[in-house]
Structure 1
């Protein structure tokens, strides 16, 4: 998007129409009707106040005391009504904006998590950056700015109609000149400043988001950076991202300077022109002096109503850039499945776990990882998947979990709520220690005594006492070591009691004793499990072994066979 054009209007309506015609349409339309009615009322009162201001000056000029005080009383009475009307209008407008933002945020969040769109966005290689900013900042800007501008247009139309009648009664040429003047200003501003300002504002949103994202990554990976002593590199990268922001803002400021020079000169004329037009009639005694103030007030209101594009052009260019970012994001989330011509792995739900003639490819279909794999995991048994790095071990787990469907063949698996996945790097949720243990089913009712027993089973006895109880809140990814996090995720498994478990290097940070203890608990529960790992000691806890190769081939062995053939694998690699 590099210019302000009708595509922006189409994109805007694509995003907006669902709210105004959806399940909350009557509440939305009711609030909008209330806003418009208040707008009508206070616009009418504005005309009255403008007229009485002119009458006040005329009364003072004529030294008509009774007329002066009568006008003062009317002015104050109208003002008493006008002030709360204007405040009520602002409140209802902002409340409608807030309701709209809530609805639109929920819609984007639902779409973001539906069918794992957040994950598909991560692996798709799309140019859609910083979805967090689009959901938070761009949605907020969209609802606030669109309502503000829409109501500003309505107000402009009402003000133009109301105050033009006042001007028409004072000077007809003044009205004609005003319309022509506003149209020329709008045309010049749009043609000259439209393309560069919209492009620069679009880039500004992107570069600011990149800077914020870089700073967040440093916070999340502080320990790793410290271990590598990567401060200089990270500092330079942050400075470079800020330099990009800085340079773009410099270019933006130059264009804004030129725009401000034009608009400041352009908007000065209305303050002097009415006096020039009505001066001859006043000097001739054909018109009261107060008509100058009345004409000037009406002229300014009509001018700024017609001049809405010029006056708010900078905000409109930023708003247009935000609409495009939000539209492309919504388009991605709601897009029908791409690569329809490409083959897809079929998933069948059943009370067993098996794959039939599975050929697995990467999501972009550029590489085949496994060819024609068929196997079935017996209930209550364990399958160990091993092989060199890059042969597709973790990719196979992604396919079984339903994250990847690129390829051919069939995966037969139970419902998702019967499977629990334990990754090498556990996911620590935001919340209490109780939330960590029960995730993803944090609604489960489990008493503290049982939670303590489970912590003892995974060799984390007394963990709750270290942090002040199960309701303590911490940054768990920071305060727990990787080994403690892995044991905690095994506690999740023992508490959630799934029928199936998938473990991807889930004990890589543990010593052999802890690894043995955890797998023994898993076997005692009768859980059917599939593990990916490199340690040969894992063979002790599995009944079968799937060995993958770099050349896409595979073979199923008895675990003991691998130990006998490669006893050196019993030695653990050194870890920190």
Structure 2
């Protein structure tokens, strides 16, 4: 992540370097001013004990200058660090989203593999936590190191025995917190984040399927499951709190006992007249700064444990993205059941052929998790050819693998064996269409829905297509903003998906359209209207279509009918 920010070229690299150098410089200057503050404070204390009025007021003026400098450097450091966090998070998130939301469908591969749950939390929360904590560490540690060496020199000149005692005390405390308390706290942090993500997921599912849950009258059941997820979260949080409380008790006692050590060592030296009174105050500053530097890891064990848990989750996510680019798409089975080979894909750029399947055997999820079945039971597998103008209807029993075959045709599933040649222009229409939300807010215009993801058309053409799709009531309302996913019925969503498809086909050459129960929520009259308009458009652009459906009424719209067993 650091290499991405400072070494790899991007438009914000200069801003990242500027803010990091500014934060580092301000931190070091702040540490130097703190050393001066200790010296001025010690001199003022000596002036009081010796009744040196002139020296006292000179020390007060010097201290005022130091205080103003400390305030300025602290503000500059915090501002530069905050800006560095923004830049780092933006750059890292952009790089991660490029890998996650790519054209090859890595986001789908991760979901199909079920290997990395809660990808959204890892991108949004874990990455932000890592950036915050790492920047905080990198801006604080230089100041601690600088103060540590400066004040160690002061302490050594005054009392070597105090230095050795503090070093021994701090190292023993750091070892205990990091290798015992910190280890258990990191484990609790990881479990708590997993429980938190599961609880949030349950609530998101209720919001997503609110209508279906209401029809089932299953609010009480969902409440029961949400409360169970909450109880697991509460239990994991309580375990985390126990370890965190134990850590805090140890840290406070350990730190407060350490504050007693300077007076126990320096008071006898003052009584014997070996040091001045102001030296005691300076020694307290020096002792505290050296102690903070040595005990930094121990005092921030909680933060470091959280950082370790977030880094582990994000590392798992990035490794999964790397594997998604190399491995076949998994459907959640064990690795021992995964086929060694995978389906290969080639482009058909010219000619009348738009799709060729040769000896394809598709590995599909079994009813029992962890098991697999095969579509294409014979050794030769499944073969099919489609030319321009061909329309094929695929039928078969539920669960036989019709949708899995369409995923292979669409290029988002390659778990199996065989060869697939396809036209580069493939359009997929699922049973449940996706209606995206806006970039800045939930509502979108109807125009944005029709042109998703990257089409172009005039308003006149869009209104004409809406009429053809039995959406006449939407004609003239292209600029209306709404949450269309909630506003539309199931049939309206499917008609909108067909309208979106016709818009895309306007600029396609030799397209292949793949439809998976794409009219299941429409009546037969509307279904006939949709398929008639689609096939008319496909004839114009020399395309072909594959449909999956259970309705026998669709047979008359297709040239071929293929039944899977």
Distance 2:239 2:345 in 1: 53
**2:467 aligned residue:** 456
Q: Deviations over 1:331-370 (max 9, x none)?
A: 1111262369712222111142222222222278932112
Which has the higher mean CA deviation after the structures are superposed, 346-355 or 514-523?
346-355
Does 2:234 align with 1:238? no
**1:553 aligned residue:** none
Distance 2:208 2:137 in 1: 39
Work out which of the residue numbers 462, 466, 480 in structure 2 matches 1:472: 480
Match of 2:562, SS state, is strand
Match of 1:429, SS state, is coil
Contact 2:182/2:305 (8 A) holds in 1 = yes
Mind listing any 5+ residue stretches in structure 1 that lack a counterpart?
A: 1-14, 550-576
Work out which of the residue numbers 348, 371, 374 in structure 1 matches 2:346: 348
Work out which of the residue numbers 488, 491, 500 in structure 1 matches 2:512: 500
Deviation at residue 57 of structure 1 after TM alignment: 2.1
Distance 2:2 2:516 in 1: 43
**2:286 aligned residue:** 298
Contact 2:431/2:517 (8 A) holds in 1 = yes
Distance 1:506 1:93 in 2: 52
Could you say if the C-alpha distance between residues 105 and 441 of structure 1 is closer, same or farther in structure 2, counting changes exceeding 3 Å?
same
Match of 1:367, SS state, is strand
Distance 1:37 1:394 in 2: 60
Deviation at residue 18 of structure 1 after TM alignment: 4.1
Matches within 5 A, 1:385-534: 385-415=394-424, 418-431=425-438, 432=444, 433-442=446-455, 444=456, 446-463=457-474, 469-497=477-505, 498=508, 499-525=511-537, 526=539, 527-534=543-550
Contact 1:361/1:370 (8 A) holds in 2 = no
Which has the higher mean CA deviation after the structures are superposed, 185-194 or 297-306?
185-194
Does 2:261 align with 1:261? no
Distance 2:318 2:384 in 1: 40
Match of 1:376, SS state, is strand
**1:548 aligned residue:** 564
Distance 1:209 1:521 in 2: 45
Distance 1:387 1:411 in 2: 22
Deviation at residue 16 of structure 1 after TM alignment: 4.2
Does 2:90 align with 1:90? no
**2:149 aligned residue:** 161
Deviation at residue 464 of structure 1 after TM alignment: 5.7
Work out which of the residue numbers 189, 198, 202 in structure 2 matches 1:201: 189
Match of 2:481, SS state, is coil
Matches within 5 A, 1:9-24: 15-24=1-10
**1:185 aligned residue:** 173
Distance 2:359 2:91 in 1: 45
Deviation at residue 45 of structure 1 after TM alignment: 0.9
Does 2:30 align with 1:42? yes
Deviation at residue 30 of structure 1 after TM alignment: 4.6
Number of equivalenced pairs: 527
Q: Deviations over 1:373-402 (max 9, x none)?
A: 222222123111111111221111100011
Match of 2:420, SS state, is strand
Contact 1:54/1:290 (8 A) holds in 2 = yes
**1:564 aligned residue:** none
**1:561 aligned residue:** none
**2:331 aligned residue:** none
**1:357 aligned residue:** 359
Mind listing any 5+ residue stretches in structure 2 that lack a counterpart?
A: 329-337, 439-443
Contact 1:278/1:292 (8 A) holds in 2 = yes
Match of 2:398, SS state, is coil
Deviation at residue 261 of structure 1 after TM alignment: 1.6
Q: Deviations over 1:89-144 (max 9, x none)?
A: 11112222221111111121111123211111111132x22010000000001111
Does 2:131 align with 1:143? yes
Distance 1:458 1:174 in 2: 85
Q: Deviations over 1:422-459 (max 9, x none)?
A: 111111111321111111215x2x33232222111111
Matches within 5 A, 1:124-135: 124-126=113-115, 128-135=116-123
Deviation at residue 29 of structure 1 after TM alignment: 4.3
Distance 1:405 1:305 in 2: 54
Work out which of the residue numbers 100, 111, 118 in structure 1 matches 2:88: 100
Does 2:383 align with 1:367? no
Contact 1:270/1:299 (8 A) holds in 2 = no
**1:574 aligned residue:** none
Match of 2:346, SS state, is strand
Distance 1:121 1:341 in 2: 18
Deviation at residue 407 of structure 1 after TM alignment: 2.4
Distance 1:392 1:140 in 2: 41
Contact 1:365/1:406 (8 A) holds in 2 = no
